[in-house]
Chains A and B, each alone.
Chain A
Amino acid sequence: MLGRVQVPPTAKKGESFEIRVLVQHPMETGFRRDVNGQSIPMHIVNQLSCTSGGRKVFSAELGTGMSANPYVSFYAVAQASGEVVVEWSDDRGGTGRVTATIQVS
């Protein structure tokens, strides 16, 4: 699944930096009906987590109240240079993973 994560290219050690995540997903609530009156089954991303340099910094449980193509931004403390990994999964077993690298000085 498609997604995007943005982090600043560099950060000072001990300072917090912003991580912005955008996931491409319909986030279908299950309450809508199509043109034929058939209900459209629920399809949502319900888990999202982020690790920075192997440490877990953030996780979220999302519900149907999240907008389509969910966007989340949050902060993490810069400890060491490395990869910021964002992983998510939806209620049909689909998963996604995006990474970004950050230089910590």
Chain B
Amino acid sequence: MKRRDFVIGVPAAAALPAFAQQQFARTQDVAPLIAKLANGVKPETGGIEVELPAVAENGNSVPIKVRVPSPMSEADHVDAIHIIADRNPRPLVATFNLGPGAGRAEITTRIRLAGSQRLTVLAALSGNRYRISQQDVLVTSAACLDDSL
């Protein structure tokens, strides 16, 4: 084999097969999921306060607080808050159903994040209105997917 052939051939062989590339490109398109949760309505950006650490040390437990300013009356209230993590193997982390009986649209919880990613919070308001908020979070140690215990 000529040296030149070898030099040209190596990068081609090193290119990953399609299935392996899919493994690496773990960020998935969550647009269909958001569209499904939002009943096809285009959500308006903003109107949600998300408290999330900019850098999360441990992806197994990332504290998150979501607050949606709302009068929480019978006519105008928040029905549900969805948390979506596009790099998690199952992107829909949780759905919280509220209502006028909640008085305040605010929830705090702890979630798992499989690596640094953009977190999406979708709020479903009464009257088929939706709000969306996205925030980047850096995860130092991702929630364990492959290491044994």
Contacts and interface: CB of A to CB of B under 8 A. Distances in A.
B121 interface: no
Given A32-B149, A35-B148, A60-B94, A67 B60 contact: yes
A55 interface: yes
A59 B101 CA distance: 12
Interface residues of A, number: 32
A89 interface: no
Contact of B104 (A52, A60, A66, A75): A75
B102 A71 contact: no
A80 to B, nearest CB: 12
Interface in A34-56: 34-35, 37, 52, 55-56
B111 interface: yes
Contacts of A57: 99, 101-102
Nearest to A32: B144
The 3 closest A-B pairs by CB, nearest first: A16-B103, A65-B93, A77-B103
15 contacts: A31-B89, A32-B148, A34-B149, A56-B101, A57-B101, A58-B96, A61-B95, A63-B90, A64-B90, A65-B83, A66-B111, A67-B112, A70-B109, A74-B96, A74-B107
Contact of A65 (B88, B107, B149): B88
A16 B94 contact: no
Given A31-B145, A65-B94, A72-B108, 6 more contacts: A35-B149, A64-B89, A65-B83, A66-B94, A66-B112, A67-B111
B149 A63 contact: no
A91 interface: no
Contacts of A104: none
A66 B110 contact: yes
B97 A75 contact: no
Nearest to A71: B110
A85 interface: no
A31 B92 CA distance: 16
Nearest to B145: A31
B22 to A, nearest CB: 16
Contacts of B145: 29, 31-32
A35 B147 CA distance: 9
B148 A37 contact: yes
A7 interface: no
